[in-house]
Amino acid sequence: MSFQCLSFEPDTDGVVLVTIRRPEKLNALSGETIAELGEAFRAAREDASIKGLILTGAGEKAFAAGGDIGELAQADPIEAERQSRRGQDVFRMLETMRKPSVATINGFALGGGLELAMCCAIRIASPNAKLGQPEVKLGIVPGYGATQRLPRLIGRGRALELLLSGESIDAAEAYRIGLVNAIAAQGDLVATAKGWVSKVAANGPLAVALTMESVDCGLDGGLEAGLRFEAMAFGLTAASADRREGMAAFLEKRKAVFTGR
């Protein structure tokens, strides 16, 4: 798979590393970059051999330092809304792919960069990471989902603190408030992320997918809708070959071999 702004590197364990490669622009998210991310996420979602995804940025300065301001400055209101919708659709594809994903935040994750990271299942940051939503400093509103995802991750009060001030925080503070799940040395980020994805991928793939969907159903539709979906998912997994294999392996004191069926 060939890209201009990304690399797409699956390994033999079924984990694909997607790297944004615009280091001269601190990996800013141009329209072309977002379109290529859409292609990469679609490929990862549809390829059964890919069990999980790691997302990072090239270099040691930035995961993604926001949108491409040069492009944004030229957009009229209609085009600005279209850009927002396109980005939201691509980011949502990552968020709903039903496979474990990790953002390895190796520097700046600002604006659209942080919005992209929030669509991964978890986030791991290097000690030099800086995270924030500085859009209000430019006189605009976040356009790729920060006003919705940030409160869901860290609560309304802390989210508004970041969204309304436009200030960034370091990795330690991001970990303290739950915006990132772990901190790892710059050189260990991808290996740490791969360890987590591989651990999740060793579980029943149908159960993993339905667990992710159950969480999102409850967050989006409320407690009652979430509970109904959970019960349905529980029933589906009860009828699966993976359930039979998982319980047999437990009773026989061996490692389960799941097939996703």
Is 127 contained in some domain? yes
- 120 & 219 share domain: no
- 197 & 212 share domain: no
Give the total number of structural domains in the chain: 2
Is 259 contained in some domain? no
Per-residue pLDDT tens over the stretch 28-72: 999 999 999 999 999 999 999 999 999 999 998 999 998 877 887
> Within 10 Å of residue 246's Cβ, how many Cβ atoms?
18
Is 12 contained in some domain? yes
Inter-residue contact 45 to 85 (CB < 8 Å): no
- 144 & 242 share domain: no
Structure tokens that stand for 205 in this block: 């793939």
Distance, C-alpha 182 to centroid of its chain = 14
Q: Provide the pLDDT for residue 259.
A: 83
Q: Provide the pLDDT for residue 226.
A: 95
Burial of residue 218 (number of CB atoms within 10 Å: 0-12, 13-18, 19+): middle
- 35 & 148 share domain: yes
- 183 & 111 share domain: yes
Which of 115, 230, 245, 252 is labelled catalytic?
Answer: 115
Inter-residue contact 143 to 84 (CB < 8 Å): yes
- 195 & 216 share domain: no
pLDDT class of 21 with cuts at 50, 70, 90? very high
- 122 & 246 share domain: no
Q: What is the CATH number of the domain that holds 140?
A: 3.90.226.10
Q: What is the CATH number of the domain that holds 232?
A: 1.10.12
24 belongs to the catalytic site:
no
- Looking at 201, 222, 237, the residue that finishes a domain is 201
> Within 10 Å of residue 231's Cβ, how many Cβ atoms?
11
Inter-residue contact 186 to 105 (CB < 8 Å): no
Per-residue pLDDT tens over the stretch 139-176: 999 999 999 999 999 999 999 999 999 999 999 999 99
Q: In angstroms, rounded to a whole number, what is the distance separating the alpha carbons of residues 172 and 179?
A: 10
Q: In angstroms, rounded to a whole number, what is the distance separating the alpha carbons of residues 115 and 117?
A: 6
Is 218 contained in some domain? yes
Run of H or E residues at 9: strand 6-10
Which of 135, 230, 245, 252 is labelled catalytic?
Answer: 135
Run of H or E residues at 117: helix 112-117
- 185 & 84 share domain: yes
Inter-residue contact 50 to 14 (CB < 8 Å): yes
9 belongs to the catalytic site:
no
Pairing mode of beta strands 122-125, 168-170: unpaired
Per-residue pLDDT tens over the stretch 99-108: 999 999 999 9
Is 50 contained in some domain? yes
- 175 & 230 share domain: no
- 166 & 221 share domain: no
- 143 & 187 share domain: yes
pLDDT at 1 over 80: no
245 vs 217 pLDDT, higher one: 217
Mean pLDDT over each residue of the chain, to the nearest integer: 94
For residue 68, give the DSSP letter.
Answer: -
Structure tokens that stand for 29 in this block: 């998210």
Residue numbers of the domain that contains 244: 205-251
Is 167 contained in some domain? yes
Is 256 contained in some domain? no
